[in-house]
Amino acid sequence: MNTEKNKKIEDILSSLDGVGRVSAPDFFYTRLKARMERELVPEPKRSWILKPVFAFSALVLILAVNAVLIFSEAKPATSVAETDYIQSAASAYSINTNLTYEINQLP
């Protein structure tokens, strides 16, 4: 009984001995080619400007320019000494600083 059972198990274990290789289904290559064409479509190249490193750098640059402008406007445009210098220079070279105003006043 036990020997019979062992023989049966050995038969099962050897049932794949010398099994023939199965061929791939017909038109395998055609289907593979179609799938490759479907799956291997190259992704559209992203512009370099969209790369995070450039986008981040641009943001930092814009913020820096803004900061510089804000701080420079916070300062008085000209100090008293600068105004005096401009006026003395204008009179030295006979430049009428109100020229524009006067021209506008002309009939």
> Which of 97, 73, 66, 104 has its CA nearest to residue 83?
97
Does 5 sit near another protein (CB under 8 A)? Answer: yes
**Cα 89 to chain centroid, rounded:** 52
Q: Is residue 1 within the footprint of another protein (CB under 8 A)?
A: no
Question: Quick one: 39 or 102, whose CB is closer to another protein?
Answer: 39
CB of 45 to another protein, least distance (A): 18
The verdict on 8 binding another protein (CB under 8 A) reads yes
Whole-angstrom distance, CA of residue 30 vs CA of residue 10: 42
| Residue 90 and residue 97 in contact, taking contact as beta carbons nearer than 8 Å | yes
- Judged by CB under 8 A, the chain residues 31 through 70 that form the site for another protein are 31-32, 35-36, 39-40
Give the C-alpha separation, 93 to 97, whole Å: 11
**Contact footprint for another protein (CB under 8 A):** 5, 8-9, 11-13, 15-17, 19-25, 28-29, 31-32, 35-36, 39-40
